[in-house]
């Protein structure tokens, strides 16, 4: 059996539905997705990952698969007639990864799912805040700290604003990969029209179209309000992450779970929406890049300039169920 790198990649973006799309693609008999999601191999260049210094980064670093033989092991079990794929949503953002993929797999196909950059950033911040790792209770404050965090070596998952500069990222990608080998999708369409989007992916990959029962929704957890609990438990989790970096990731997850459960205790099921003022502040830096994205793709992203959020998988699917019930 041949040992070869993937034929296709889900390259981005984080918090834009790549986990759900990855799960759906694993159900297609002509596709084989890596046994580990987000191996991050092409971000490393056959060298250990950078020693990122943000809260919890040391644990994530331990999970990177940077040795080529270990990476190829992820595709053991793939049939000779199956296309092999992997999902690392940071590849689109990471300049070195874009170049390494182009050099190592010049014929590979790349799939990028793009989400409203403000919604994406908010979801990203929310993820880390509810894990007790984000020390800033306001996303606007966290974004203002982003340049300092990057200078201090925090991992890409902390780059809330920079990660959403898709125009710049695609412009560079197109300098190394033919455009016909890149499929750009929209998160909103993936949520609202999953069958149509999946068929686009199947056509792009050259496999038979197939009905997938349902794209899994995102994981929804109780929202953690800024208050005594967050200001007490959060610092303990961050301190534990610093001390626990010397533990294997699985051990740390087991140890930290009671703390995270305590943080979530009594949390609200719904997540607060950004205020118009917050959205305005977060949107402004993206306007020029959105224009570049429109120029590169020939498509309109005017909805991203609106001062309202597009919702998550859970919220939009719930809205869809409500409409369906009302129509019965």
Please tell me the least confidently modeled range out of 106-115, 243-252, 290-299.
Answer: 243-252
Q: How far apart are alpha carbons 81 and 89 in whole angstroms?
A: 25
pLDDT in tens, 267-297: 455 578 899 999 999 999 999 999 999 999 9
Cβ-contact 184, 297 below 8 angstroms: yes
What average pLDDT does range 312-325 have in this prediction? 49
| The two three-digit tokens of residue 233, written as one number | 């438990």
pLDDT at 317 over 70: no
- Average pLDDT rounded to a whole number, residues 226-240: 48
Question: In this predicted model, what pLDDT tens digit does every residue of 11-23 receive, in sequence order?
Answer: 999 999 999 999 9
pLDDT of residue 211: 79
Mean pLDDT of all residues in 21-46: 94
Give 123-163 pLDDT, tens digit per residue: 999 989 888 889 998 999 999 999 999 999 999 999 999 99
Query: pLDDT per residue over 189-217, tens digit each?
Result: 999 999 999 999 999 999 999 877 566 56
pLDDT for residue 83 is more than 70: yes
Report DSSP state, residue 219.
P
Considering only CA atoms, which of 159, 124, 56, 136 is closest in space to residue 271?
124
More confident residue, 221 or 145: 145
CATH 3.40.50.300 is right for the domain spanning 8-326:
yes
- The model's confidence at residue 56, banded by pLDDT at 50, 70 and 90, is confident
Q: Are strands 182-186 and 109-114 parallel, antiparallel or unpaired?
A: parallel
The beta-carbon contacts of 210-217 under 8 Å, at least 24 apart in sequence, are: 210/27, 210/28, 210/29, 212/24, 212/27, 212/28, 213/27, 215/17, 215/20, 215/21, 215/23, 215/24, 215/190, 215/191, 215/313, 216/19, 216/20, 216/23, 216/24, 217/20, 217/313, 217/314, 217/317
Give residue 47's pLDDT band: very low, low, confident or very high (50, 70, 90): very high
Share of the chain above pLDDT 70, in %: 75
Least confident piece of the model among 39-53, 162-176, 239-253: 239-253
Beta bridge partner(s), residue 10: 87, 111
Residue 310 has pLDDT above 50, yes or no: yes
């Amino acid at each position: 059996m041949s040992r070869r790198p993937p034929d296709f990649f889900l390259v981005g973006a984080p918090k834009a539905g790549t986990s759900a799309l990855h799960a759906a693609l694993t159900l297609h008999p002509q596709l084989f997705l890596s046994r580990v999601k987000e191996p991050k191999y092409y971000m490393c260049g056959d060298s250990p990952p950078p020693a990122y210094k943000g809260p919890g980064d040391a644990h994530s670093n331990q999970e990177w698969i940077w040795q080529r033989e270990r990476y190829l092991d992820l595709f053991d079990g793939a049939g000779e007639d199956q296309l092999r794929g992997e999902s690392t949503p940071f590849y689109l953002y990471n300049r070195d990864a874009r170049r390494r993929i182009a050099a190592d797999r010049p014929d590979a196909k790349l799939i990028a799912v793009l989400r409203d950059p403000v919604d994406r950033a908010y979801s990203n911040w929310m993820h880390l805040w509810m894990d007790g790792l984000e020390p800033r209770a306001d996303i606007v404050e966290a974004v203002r700290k982003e340049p300092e965090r990057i200078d201090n070596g925090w991992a890409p998952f902390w780059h809330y604003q920079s990660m959403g500069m898709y125009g710049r990222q695609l412009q560079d990608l197109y300098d190394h990969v033919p455009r016909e080998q890149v499929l750009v999708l929209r998160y909103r369409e993936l949520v609202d029209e999953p069958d149509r989007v999946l068929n686009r992916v199947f056509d792009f990959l050259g496999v038979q179209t197939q009905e997938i029962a349902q794209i899994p929704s995102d994981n929804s957890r109780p929202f953690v309000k800024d208050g005594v609990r967050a200001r007490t438990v959060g610092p303990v989790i961050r301190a534990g992450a610093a001390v626990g970096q010397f533990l294997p990731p699985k051990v740390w997850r087991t140890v930290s779970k009671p703390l995270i459960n305590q943080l979530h205790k009594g949390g609200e099921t719904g997540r607060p929406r950004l205020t118009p003022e917050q959205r305005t502040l977060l949107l402004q830096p993206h306007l020029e890049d959105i224009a570049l994205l429109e120029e590169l793709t020939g498509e309109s992203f005017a909805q991203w300039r609106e001062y309202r959020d597009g919702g998550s998988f859970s919220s939009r699917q719930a809205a869809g169920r409500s409409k369906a019930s009302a129509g019965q």
